[in-house]
């Protein structure tokens, strides 16, 4: 059975008392116990009032110490309600009741009670509202409360009906909230001084009790020295009475708060042991303490003793009362324990350590206990890192917690006390564990205390180092402070939702003495369009001076919007900022911290705590600041109002911003995945312009970009000529992109004497007001702009004219917009005539270019395209006519369409007069260019044909007929891998695949030249011709040896030797016959045989002699070969 089913917290301790709502409630008094410490407070009040006439008091104590309950009980005793008086008297007891009534006589109808709960606001208005709510003052719509009116009303109310009422008792609960608000906005709390003085002069008729959670001067510790002195005077008007239940009183309250269904179990021996140790100096009270500790079950008695001291520690803004802990469901808290525990479990000190570390460690580290806590936490980390088991870790947690709060609990982590935390463990294992902790230098045994303690491994004095760092900081480094403070920019949210472009203003801190210079020097970083300056005083400037400086700085807004803000509590920013910078200085300037993890942990915690305080103060500054802007009256804005102001300023600056809702690219710097999608879209824009949706299928990233940026805006649309990129519609007010297009066109036209880079257009036109287009959109919009204006724009890449804007240019543009330049094209009447003639030339020499758009840019592109399509050899060779070389060089230098067409070409034809003035000149110019281009176009094919014919002749291939090529490939297949020559084998392999095309021959020639065609130069072709002839001869020789490998002979070598007419040297003719010639040979043999047979029987010698003489005639006669060559055969 879970403990949550048996254990509960008494109802009275489950909620806090509110004096304004619980006043006069009998239920609020039910179960209230007045500890002796609280009774002493009331006695002290009574004595001060009776003996000195003091009427103003402050009750100071931590959360949960019973201050509000005490106020309710005192009010019940004095307010004249007989039933409540009787109940309160039973709480206080007869003696204390008599003392109070003697000091504060009630009269017939008791005291008037005015309960007030403090809040962050003006105490004048809060007290006035309380007087009206209580019915002590009649309310009227026009009533305006002032300090004088408040004091007069209180004094008048206290003195009225003196015979009936005892007086007026003013309770101000949460008075610290008024003090905090006054400290933050720099206002005074003089009203409290006036009320206190009036109370002390009222002869006991007016009592003023302020309830505080910390001492009065603690609220003023961040004020200037002058203000602290003023607050000290006010504090002197009050008698401060500490309300804080101590020791056994707190334990007794805990025992009353914990209720157990079925009764609490019988205590074990550990309860008495803990009581004896805690009351070692007063053993007579140990028995009573043991009974109270036993009633705190299921809290371990050590935990019950520690909760009081812990609740009195001040852990930043997270102070917790004992009863807050008992009702807490936070991790490792008491309620969390009850849900998971059974009847055999108790809430031990190690669980309390876990609760504090999980929920309060940052606040503890920033408190006075931070150093010792950091040492203990570091020891625990080292224990776990050294392999300590669960028992060792729990033991160390018990030692750490008890040692940390030993001063106020009376407990020290002695062996006897630690035994009570592990009642089921015998002495030897516990002694061994303690010895091991000592050996690991995690704990140390202090003989004079007879107890163990956490080993202090750090001797770094952070407070001393911080003091030195504070002295070293003469002036604040505001740039460093801005990064440390985590100031968030002010977003123009409404503008973003309207246009899709996120714009923001920097939120910066500026010293009042330098705010004018900061405003003048302001240069926005990437994406920023202005600044909100938080102005803080540094030289004692008063509010009026700061207001004037802010207004003057705001008037400096010219290129960028500057909004300046000031707040009365700005001085607190300086104090916090200085301490934060000092802490960072300590962290950075002390190398010993590198070897001191405890000190590092403490410094880091202090920095985190101080940074959180600074951020909170800055948030308050922003919320309460008065903002000055150019041409407007100073005004306060909420955070939402600041966002609205930022949107108004953004809309005014970028009044013609296009509306493009795409979060991937409409931003300052797109992500990697967005850029990848953008690059894919850019390629499709170039290569698939004529397709719907650019041919994008499905829903990839580029599909979303296309839909929102190109299709929605109408930039990519279906026209009469199919899908094309077009100028944005002028009537599209939804996206409003046409003005940006027109502005870019005007910008280029105004600079038509030179190319303009894409980066220049973007930086000086699109990115500036009134457009403010984001850099992430630049590549896509720039490419769309170029394609939509292609008929009028000349495109250059790195200064060189581009006949075609292709995907390579897009890659350059996306990486660096400086590499792509644009220039606008214009022409006159004579230029149009030249243009018309050039159109025919382009169509003549480039059959694939129909040249539909007769614009200069298109014609120039067509001409340059003819040149760019030339083989690389043609662009290098000098085996051209001088005219062709000059035309080639002119095209090579072409970098501007207008200049190329209307200046360079005419100047080339007639250097003396580059001006074209009549039709004759036009024809002459076009004729010269035509001749040069024709020669250039035909040069390479002619060179290739010459080499090919030479090779075929060497190979004894008669022509390029399909049959001849088939025979050549067969011959090559027959010779493959025959000679064992790798180079010859490569040559043979290419011949085996040769089908007569230029590409096929380029492969063979590349082998001979040892270079690919793109690298050929003139000497390479000379070497290639020799090498081709050499390899052809090797090929022929190899053919004669095919029989060696059993392959059929494709050629037959023969020789004829004839001696004639007594010549000293006989005639010799060697020749070869291919398989393709064999049929013709056999046919000729048949015809010769028929002739010889028809001549009748002859002597063999006569026949042979006739054949020999006939052979000699054919050997000596060259006409036969010439005749064959003329018939189209290749010799």
pLDDT tens track for 369-413:
887 888 888 888 889 888 889 999 999 999 999 988 887 778 889
Q: Residue 208's pLDDT is what?
A: 93
pLDDT band, very low/low/confident/very high, at 683 (cuts 50, 70, 90):
very high
Residue 1067: predicted pLDDT? 63
Residue 679: pLDDT band with limits 50, 70, 90: very high
Which residues lie closer than 8 Å to 993 by C-beta, 6 or more apart? 969, 1000, 1003
Q: Which of 643, 578, 594, 572 is nearest to 219 (CA)?
A: 572
Residue 89: DSSP 8-state: H
Q: Hey, what are 530's tokens?
A: 């202005």
Q: Give 936-975 pLDDT, tens digit per residue.
A: 888 889 988 998 888 888 888 888 888 888 888 888 888 8
Short-list 172, 126, 132, 181, CA closest to 153: 132
Q: Beta-carbon neighbour count of residue 553 at 10 Å?
A: 26
Mean pLDDT, the chain, integer = 82
Task: Convert 811-824 to b/e letters by CB count within 10 Å (16 or more is b).
Answer: ebbbeebebbbbbb
Number of H helices, E strands in the chain: 50, 23
169 three-state secondary structure: strand
Question: In the prediction, which pLDDT does 959 show?
Answer: 82
CA pair distance 789, 781, nearest whole angstrom: 12
HEC string of 866-910 equals HHHCCCCCCCCCCCCCHHHHHHHHHHHHCCCHHHHHHHHHHHHHC
What is the distance between the alpha carbons of residues 712 and 320, in angstroms, rounded to a whole number? 59
Report the candidate in 227, 236, 238, 128 with the shortest Cα–Cα distance to residue 187. Answer: 227
For the whole model, what pTM was predicted?
Answer: 0.54
Mean pLDDT of 203-210: 91
User: Tens digits of per-residue pLDDT, 299-348?
Assistant: 999 998 888 888 777 553 334 467 778 888 888 988 899 988 888 889 99
Q: Distance between CA 1051 and CA 1077 in Å, rounded?
A: 9
799: how many CB neighbours lie within 10 A of its CB? 10
Please state the separation of Cα 1042 from the chain's center in Å: 75
| Choice between 19 and 299, residue whose per-residue pLDDT is larger | 299
Residue 68's CB is within 10 A of a number of other CB atoms, namely: 23
Phi/psi of residue 531, nearest 5 degrees: -145, 140
Q: Is 443 helix (H, G, I), strand (E, B) or coil?
A: strand
Could you give phi then psi for residue 414, rounded to 5 degrees? -80, 170
Question: Is the CATH number 3.40.50 carried by domain 11-242?
Answer: yes
416/175 Cα distance (integer angstroms): 45
Q: Are 834 and 854 in contact (CB under 8 A)?
A: no
Give tens-digit pLDDT for 786-813: 999 987 888 888 887 776 889 999 999 9
Domain ranges of the chain: 11-242, 247-454, 462-635, 672-824, 829-941, 955-1045, 1053-1126
- 803 and 772 Cβ atoms separated by less than 8 Å: no
Can you tell me the mean pLDDT for 1069-1084? 72
Q: pLDDT above 90 covers what percent of the chain?
A: 22
What CA–CA distance (Å, rounded) separates 133 from 327?
Answer: 33
The Cα angle at residue 386 between residues 380 and 391, in degrees rounded to 5: 60
Cα separations (Å) of 316 from 87, 120, 370, 613, 1099? Answer: 38, 19, 11, 10, 141
The predicted model gives 503-531 an average pLDDT of 87
């Amino acid at each position: 059975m879970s403990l949550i089913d048996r254990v509960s917290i008494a109802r009275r301790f489950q909620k806090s008392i509110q004096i304004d709502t619980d006043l006069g409630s009998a239920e609020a008094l039910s179960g209230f116990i007045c500890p002796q410490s609280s009774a002493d407070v009331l006695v002290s009040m009574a004595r001060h009032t009776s003996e000195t006439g003091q009427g103003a008091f402050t009750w100071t104590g931590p959360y949960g110490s019973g201050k509000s309950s005490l106020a309710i009980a005192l009010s019940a005793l004095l307010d004249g309600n007989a039933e409540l008086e009787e109940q309160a008297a039973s709480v206080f007891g007869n003696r204390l009741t008599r003392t109070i009534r003697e000091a504060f006589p009630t009269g017939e109808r008791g005291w008037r009670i005015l309960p007030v709960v403090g809040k962050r606001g003006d105490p004048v208005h809060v007290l006035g509202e309380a007087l009206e709510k209580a019915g002590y003052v009649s309310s009227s719509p026009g009533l305006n409360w002032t300090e004088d009116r408040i004091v007069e009303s209180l004094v008048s109310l206290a003195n009225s009906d003196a015979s009936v009422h005892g007086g007026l008792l003013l309770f101000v609960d949460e008075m610290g909230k008024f003090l905090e608000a006054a400290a933050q906005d720099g206002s005074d709390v003089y009203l409290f001084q006036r009320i206190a003085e009036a109370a002390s002069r009222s002869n006991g008729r007016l009592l003023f009790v302020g309830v505080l959670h910390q001492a009065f001067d603690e609220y003023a510790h961040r004020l200037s020295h002058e203000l602290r002195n003023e607050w000290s005077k006010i504090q002197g008007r009050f008698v401060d009475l500490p309300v804080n239940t101590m020791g056994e009183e707190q334990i007794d309250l805990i025992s009353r708060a914990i209720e157990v269904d079925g009764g609490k179990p019988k205590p074990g021996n550990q309860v008495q042991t803990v009581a004896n140790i805690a009351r070692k100096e007063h053993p007579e009270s140990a028995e009573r303490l043991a009974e109270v500790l036993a009633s705190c079950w299921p809290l371990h008695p050590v935990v019950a003793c520690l909760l009081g001291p812990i609740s009195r520690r001040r852990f930043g803004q997270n102070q917790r009362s004992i009863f807050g802990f008992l009702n807490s469901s936070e991790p490792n808290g008491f309620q969390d324990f009850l849900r998971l525990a059974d009847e055999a479990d108790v809430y031990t000190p190690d669980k309390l350590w876990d609760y504090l570390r999980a929920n309060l460690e940052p606040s503890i580290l920033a408190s006075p206990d931070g150093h010792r806590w950091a040492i203990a936490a570091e020891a625990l980390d080292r224990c776990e890192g050294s392999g300590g088991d669960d028992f060792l870790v729990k033991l160390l947690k018990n030692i750490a917690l008890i040692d940390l709060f030993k001063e106020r609990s009376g407990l020290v982590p002695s062996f006897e006390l630690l035994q009570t935390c592990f009642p089921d463990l015998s002495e030897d294992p516990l002694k061994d564990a303690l010895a091991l902790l000592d050996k690991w230098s995690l704990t140390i045994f202090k003989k004079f205390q007879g107890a163990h303690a956490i080993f202090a491994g750090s001797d770094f004095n952070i407070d001393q180092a911080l003091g030195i760092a504070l002295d070293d900081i003469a002036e604040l480094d505001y740039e460093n402070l801005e990064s440390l403070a985590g100031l968030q920019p002010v977003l123009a949210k409404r503008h973003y939702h309207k246009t899709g472009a996120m714009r923001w203003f920097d939120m910066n801190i500026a010293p009042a003495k330098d705010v004018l210079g900061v405003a003048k020097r302001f240069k926005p970083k990437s994406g920023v369009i202005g600044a909100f300056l938080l102005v803080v005083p540094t030289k004692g400037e008063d509010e009026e001076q700061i207001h004037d400086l802010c207004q003057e700085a705001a008037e400096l807004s010219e290129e960028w919007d500057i909004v300046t803000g000031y707040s009365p509590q700005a001085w607190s920013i300086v104090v916090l900022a200085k301490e934060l910078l000092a802490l960072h200085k300590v962290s950075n300037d002390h190398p010993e911290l590198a070897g001191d993890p405890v000190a590092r942990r403490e410094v880091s915690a202090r920095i985190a705590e101080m940074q959180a305080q600074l951020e909170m103060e800055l948030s308050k500054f922003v919320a309460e600041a008065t903002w000055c802007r150019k041409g407007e009256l100073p005004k306060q804005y909420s955070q939402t109002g600041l966002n609205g102001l930022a949107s108004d300023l953004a809309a005014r600056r970028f009044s013609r911003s296009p509306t493009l809702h795409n979060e991937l690219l409409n931003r300052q710097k797109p992500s990697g995945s967005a850029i990848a999608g953008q690059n894919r879209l850019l390629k499709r824009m170039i290569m698939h312009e004529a397709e719907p949706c650019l041919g994008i299928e499905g829903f990839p990233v580029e599909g979303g970009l296309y839909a929102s940026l190109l299709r929605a805006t109408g930039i990519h649309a279906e026209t009469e000529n199919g899908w094309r990129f077009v100028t944005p519609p002028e009537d599209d007010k939804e996206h409003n992109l046409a003005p940006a297009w027109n502005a870019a066109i005007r910008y280029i036209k105004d600079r038509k004497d030179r190319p303009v880079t894409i980066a220049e257009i973007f930086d000086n036109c699109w990115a500036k007001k009134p457009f403010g287009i984001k850099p992430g959109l630049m590549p896509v919009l720039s490419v769309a702009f170029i394609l939509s204006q292609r008929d009028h724009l000349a495109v250059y890449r790195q200064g060189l004219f581009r006949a075609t804007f292709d995907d390579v240019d897009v890659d350059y543009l996306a990486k660096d917009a400086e590499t792509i330049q644009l220039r606008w094209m214009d022409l006159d009447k004579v230029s149009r005539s030249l243009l018309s003639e050039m159109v025919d030339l382009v169509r003549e020499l480039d059959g694939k270019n129909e040249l539909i758009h007769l614009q200069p840019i298109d014609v120039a592109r067509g001409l340059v395209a003819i040149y760019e399509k030339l083989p690389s050899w043609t662009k290098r060779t000098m085996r051209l006519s001088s005219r062709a070389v000059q035309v080639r060089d002119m095209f090579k230098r072409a970098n501007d369409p207008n200049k190329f067409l209307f200046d360079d070409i005419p100047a080339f034809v007639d250097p003396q007069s580059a001006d074209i003035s009549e039709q004759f000149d036009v024809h002459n110019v076009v004729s010269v260019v035509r001749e040069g281009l024709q020669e250039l176009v035909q040069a390479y094919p002619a060179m290739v044909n010459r080499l090919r014919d030479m090779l075929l002749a060497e190979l004894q291939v008669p022509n390029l007929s399909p049959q001849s090529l088939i025979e050549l490939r067969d011959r090559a297949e027959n010779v493959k891998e025959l000679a064992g020559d790798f180079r010859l084998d490569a040559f043979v392999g290419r011949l085996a695949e040769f089908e007569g095309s230029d590409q096929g021959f380029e492969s063979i020639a590349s082998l001979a030249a040892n270079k690919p065609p793109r690298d050929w130069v003139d000497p390479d072709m000379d070497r290639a011709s020799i090498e081709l002839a050499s390899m052809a001869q090797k090929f022929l020789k190899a053919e004669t040896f095919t029989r060696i490998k059993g392959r059929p002979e494709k050629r037959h070598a023969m020789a004829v030797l004839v001696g004639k007419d007594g010549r000293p040297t006989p005639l010799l003719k060697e020749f070869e016959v291919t398989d393709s010639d064999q049929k013709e040979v056999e046919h000729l043999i048949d015809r010769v045989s028929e002739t010889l047979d028809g001549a009748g029987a002859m002597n063999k010698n006569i026949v042979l002699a006739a054949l020999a003489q006939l052979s000699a005639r054919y050997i000596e006669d060259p006409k036969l070969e010439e005749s064959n060559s003329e018939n189209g055969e290749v010799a």
